[in-house]
Every structure is written in C-alpha cells, then in structure tokens.
Amino acid sequence: MRLRPAAVVAGGLLALSAAACTGSSDPDPTTTPSAPSATPGLDGETVSVLGLWSGPERDTFAAVTGTWEDATGAAVDWTGSRDLAGDLAAAVAAGDPPDVAVLPNPGLLDDLVRDGAVLPLDDLLDPAAVARDYPATWTELGTVDGALYALPVKATDRSTVWYSPAAFDAAGYPVPATWDDLVAWAGDAAADGRTPLSVVAPRGPGSGWALTDGVASLVLGGCGPGTYDAWVAAEVPWSEECVRRSFDRFLDLVTAPGRVLGGVPAILTTGDAEGVLPVFTDPPQAYAYPMASFAQAFVADAYPDLVPGVGYDWFAFPAVDPALAGAVTVGADLVVALRDTPAARSFLAYLTGAEAQARWAGLGGYASVNRGVPAAAYPDAVARSVAEHLAGADVVRFGAGDAMPPVVQAAWSQAMLALVRDPGSLDRVLASLTAVAADAADR
C-alpha cells in the first residue's frame, strides 16, 4: 500500500535543542530542495518500513517519502507498531523482516545487531556521503563494534530550558551559563519574591521521565562522557561519587523552598504541556521551564502570537563543568536496514540525505543533524538554531533512560517520583537502582 498523508500538519511536535540561542534571518521561502533523481528499474517496487510514528508524525513522513515515490515509481509500505521490539522480533523469527525500520533508541539497535538482524549501512550507502553529511558524534550513536548500522533521521534535544527573553530582561536576569549560575540565579529570584522554575515529572504514563532527563544532563555535564557511558552500561554503581552528586544537585534545587512553582505537589501533578504555560503569563508565574525540545510546540500552541526567538527562546541546561558545555543529551529516530534490495538502497539514500530532510524540516516539528540541510529549510529562528546546535555539539549521548534497558528506565522514572517526595531516601534508592541495573545487564 502506497503511503500518503491523511493531512500534513506543519506544526507538530517541534524537535529542538539547546544552548543559549540567537535569532537569525527568516528562511528564504523560495529555497526548495530539488526532487530526488529517479533510480532506474524501481517502478512498481515496494519498500516495507516498520516504526512507531502515528498521527502528524506519520503524515509528515508520508509527505517526505511521497517525493521519493513520485520520482522512482516505487511505493513505501508503512506499518505502524505499538510494540516495535516485539513486532521486529516476530518478523525476524518468521523470516519476513521489513526492509527498513525506524528505531526510537539505541538499546533496540544493540539487540538487533547482536541477533544479526540488521545490515551494516556502509554496505548499502556511500560511506563518503555519510562522512560528509553526518558529524562523527552522531554516527557514533549508530555504530556497534566498529560498524555503522543506523543513522539518525530525526533528532530531539533532551536538555533544553524554555524562557521568555522579555521577562528575563525586565527582571535583569542573565541567562545562566553554568550549573552554579543557575543555582545562584534561582536563589536570587526566590529572594526577589519571584518563582524561578516550573518543573514537572510529568503526570501520565511513564511519569518521572522528565526528572530523569535533568539528572542525565547533570551526569553528562558534570562527570563527563566516560562516567556517563559506564553508568548507562551498569559498569559503575548508581552510588558512584559523581553520579550520586548529580542526583543531589538536582534534588537540592527542585525541592528547595520557593524554587519551583507549586513545589513538589505541582511537580507530581502537572502535565508537560501545562508546565510551560506559567513562563509566558503576564506577569510570569515562573521564569524557566526545563523540558525536551518538543516543548516548542506547547509554547506555539498556547501562545501563537509569540515570535520564535523573540517572544520565547531556550538555553542549554547548564553544565556543571564549563569544559563540558558542548555536551548534549538527545533523543533520535534511527533508521536501519534489515533487507538489501535495490529499492531499499534507493530509499535509504533518499531518507538519510539532505533533500529529504530539508523537506521534512520545512513541514515543522523536525530537526536534522545532516550538515547538508540548509538553515533556510527551517520555518523559524528557534527551530533553525536548535538544529545547528545539535549538529555542532561536541559530545552527543542518548538520554540515559532511553539508553538503558526498559526495566531500568521504568524503575528510575518511578524512583524519581519517590525522591522528590523524600530526598533523604537517596542512598536506599540508588542501591535499589544499582541492583535493577545489574540484574538487567546479566540477562
């Protein structure tokens, strides 16, 4: 079945990223990527693709892939899944895997490589083109045992902080550059009778995940990638000195009186879309909101008259160590190949190329790390600056929760809810998480 969009939603969830951003000129609306060149002999062929996308995400994907379909005469047969790991395992076991899959995290990639289910992309794509288009910090995320198996086709920053430049300017607040700056600023704001932060768990399925993002950013930006990787891989205990101190730092800030709007009850009961609203009221009820880059969509939906980069903006969740200011935690959708066909090769070359991703960027709700995507492809200054930051990051790591086994991720999310209620239970909670992680690593 040929994949076509039911409706193309230009807004969608906006994938962004962080570091204090500056606006740039509006994109040139006349800049349109050329159509992909047709691949001979593909008319009537089909590429089967399995992934999680639905709704607006699926519709924008369909709009992008429709260009390839028109150029080649081939068709994309998309299957949406609610259990990607289970569906892929069943298809591989039955000897009927999809040609291509889009994975939400590196843990699933490692499993597929271990099972021999995915193919090295160096055998299917032009390695020179990959090296030209993708920073090494990003290709490393899809590399297992020295071979490239996956490329990111969509990226999200997990360490952005949203704020109102006008509110900061009116209060005389500088954008915090380091963690110590952030803590000092929060103390000054509270002393001024203002509430510095809106923080949410948020409520709903998997509640606690946004709190894990804060800790992960502190570990990467305070302990460095070596300790971060060892912690994620369960090679060091959660009580390791720097890891434990990262939990302490986070809990000290969010549980301190006057630092978070509504205190701990609000952290536990507020949704992610609601959490950003107090930052843009007049006067502000809070001044900054740490949340992944898709929060731009929440701002744009609630405050459509705010100009991106002027009425709202973001800064990076500040690193503890200034030398690690270029490190960023991310989420990404990784494309992998399970079958080698001429149509699959052509489709992969298109999907991972700048032409497709520039079209995707123009539809909104998207950030690419492909260096060939022009800045003018993005619909606004914030989306554009986010993509530039993602592509230029010095150190890139998946958010720790996404990189850990699902059982560890779930236990950690629940543990964060307990910790904001009772920070004094930290040692007991970290011992429990160390045991969960060790058990998962042994399986």
Q: How does pLDDT run across 180-226, given as a tens digit for each residue?
A: 999 999 999 999 999 999 999 998 878 999 999 999 999 999 999 99
The answer to whether residues 276 and 180 belong to one domain is yes
Q: How does pLDDT run across 56-84, given as a tens digit for each residue?
A: 999 999 999 999 999 999 999 999 999 99
Per-residue tokens: 39: 């691949």
Chain centroid to Cα 239, Å, comes to: 26
Average pLDDT of every residue of the chain: 91
The answer to whether residues 67 and 142 belong to one domain is yes
Q: Determine the residue type at 93.
A: A
Q: Is 252 part of any domain?
A: yes
The answer to whether residues 225 and 165 belong to one domain is yes
Q: How does pLDDT run across 99-124, given as a tens digit for each residue?
A: 999 999 888 998 899 999 999 999 99
The answer to whether residues 149 and 77 belong to one domain is yes
CA distance 120 to 123: 6
The answer to whether residues 97 and 141 belong to one domain is yes
Reply yes or no on whether the pLDDT at 91 is more than 60: yes
Reply yes or no on whether the pLDDT at 20 is more than 50: no
How many percent of the chain have pLDDT more than 70? 91
Reply yes or no on whether the pLDDT at 228 is more than 90: yes
CA distance 247 to 375: 37
Q: Is 319 part of any domain?
A: no
Mean pLDDT for the stretch of residues 314-321: 96
pLDDT at 253: 98
CA distance 106 to 239: 24
pLDDT at 39: 65
Mean pLDDT for the stretch of residues 278-287: 97
The answer to whether residues 267 and 168 belong to one domain is yes
Query: Which helix H or strand E contains 403, and what residues bound it?
Result: helix 400-403
Question: In the chain, how many domains are there?
Answer: 2
The answer to whether residues 193 and 272 belong to one domain is yes
Q: Tell me the HSE value of 133 on the side-chain side, using a 13 A CA sphere.
A: 25
Q: Pairing relation of β-strands 151-157 and 327-337?
A: antiparallel
pLDDT at 163: 98
The answer to whether residues 139 and 117 belong to one domain is yes
- Helix then strand count (H, E) for the chain reads 19, 11
Mean pLDDT for the stretch of residues 326-342: 97
Q: How does pLDDT run across 292-307, given as a tens digit for each residue?
A: 999 999 999 999 999 9
CA distance 411 to 419: 12
The answer to whether residues 214 and 146 belong to one domain is no
Q: Is 296 part of any domain?
A: no
The answer to whether residues 283 and 371 belong to one domain is no
Q: What is the pTM of this model?
A: 0.88
Q: Is 353 part of any domain?
A: yes
Q: Is 37 part of any domain?
A: no
DSSP assignment of 3-65 = ---S---SSSSBP---S-----PPP-TT--PPPPPPPTT-TT-EEEEEE---HHHHHHHHHHH
The answer to whether residues 366 and 226 belong to one domain is no
User: How many CB atoms are located within 10 Å of the residue 214 CB?
Assistant: 25
In angstroms, the first-to-last Cα distance of the chain is: 39
Q: Is 357 part of any domain?
A: yes
Reply yes or no on whether the pLDDT at 153 is more than 80: yes
Provide the sign of the torsion angle of the four alpha carbons 321, 196, 156, 388, taken in this order. negative
pLDDT bucket at 40, cuts 50 / 70 / 90: low
Reply yes or no on whether the pLDDT at 5 is more than 60: no
How many percent of the chain have pLDDT more than 90? 85
pLDDT bucket at 443, cuts 50 / 70 / 90: confident
Reply yes or no on whether the pLDDT at 54 is more than 80: yes
Per-residue tokens: 325: 């200011």
- Find the domain containing 258 and state its range: 160-291+405-442
DSSP structure class, residue 331: E
pLDDT at 26: 37
The answer to whether residues 279 and 421 belong to one domain is yes
Per-residue tokens: 324: 């690690």
pLDDT bucket at 14, cuts 50 / 70 / 90: very low
Mean pLDDT for the stretch of residues 268-294: 96
Q: Is 126 part of any domain?
A: yes
Reply yes or no on whether the pLDDT at 249 is more than 50: yes
Mean pLDDT for the stretch of residues 29-58: 75
Domain CATH code at residue 243: 3.40.190.10
User: How many CB atoms are located within 10 Å of the residue 233 CB?
Assistant: 12
Q: Is 109 part of any domain?
A: yes
437 closest CA partner among 398, 416, 410, 397: 410
pLDDT at 107: 83
Q: Pairing relation of β-strands 395-398 and 327-337?
A: parallel
